[in-house]
Amino acid sequence: MNPPDREPLSPREALEIDMNIDNQGKTIDMTKFATSVRFLVKDGEVDAFMIVAREIPNVGEIHGLFAKTGDRTFVTTTIFESEQALIDARPKMIGKLDKLRKYLEEITPELDVTDPVSGPIFCET
């Protein structure tokens, strides 16, 4: 892929160029967006948290899940068709969080009770 007079690409440069190409050379649809939120549940509230989490309806996502990552730690990952779909769902996602908030403990003073991240999906397996 490099012209003979050009130095090979660094792994970082290759990643930037091929960011939307999978390992079989097919273009990846990078319009889907994911959001993940980490929670710390109050001591003694894990069962109640899990019951309420199971009852929360879909807010427009393609797929969503909750995972128990420790005795009192959980993460939810939600996939949307696009960044705009995620933005449009934010009020409902906040409503979802409000149903869980009374079960949550502050993670840190900076984070409060959630540690959210989101971004475009670049690889699906």
Q: What is the DSSP letter of 68?
A: E
User: Tokens 């509230």 identify what position?
Assistant: 45
Q: What is the pLDDT of residue 84?
A: 93
Whether residue 67 is predicted with pLDDT greater than 70 in this model: the reply is yes
Q: What is the pLDDT of residue 2?
A: 45
pLDDT digits (tens, 9 = 90+) for 23-55: 566 655 568 999 999 999 999 999 999 999 999
Confidence of residue 5 (pLDDT cuts 50, 70, 90): low
- pTM of the complete model: 0.74
The gap from C-alpha 112 to its chain's centroid, in whole angstroms, comes to 18
> What three-state secondary structure class fits 40?
strand
Tell me the domains of the chain and their CATH numbers. 36-118 (3.30.70.100)
Q: What is the pLDDT of residue 125?
A: 79
pLDDT digits (tens, 9 = 90+) for 74-93: 999 999 999 999 999 999 99
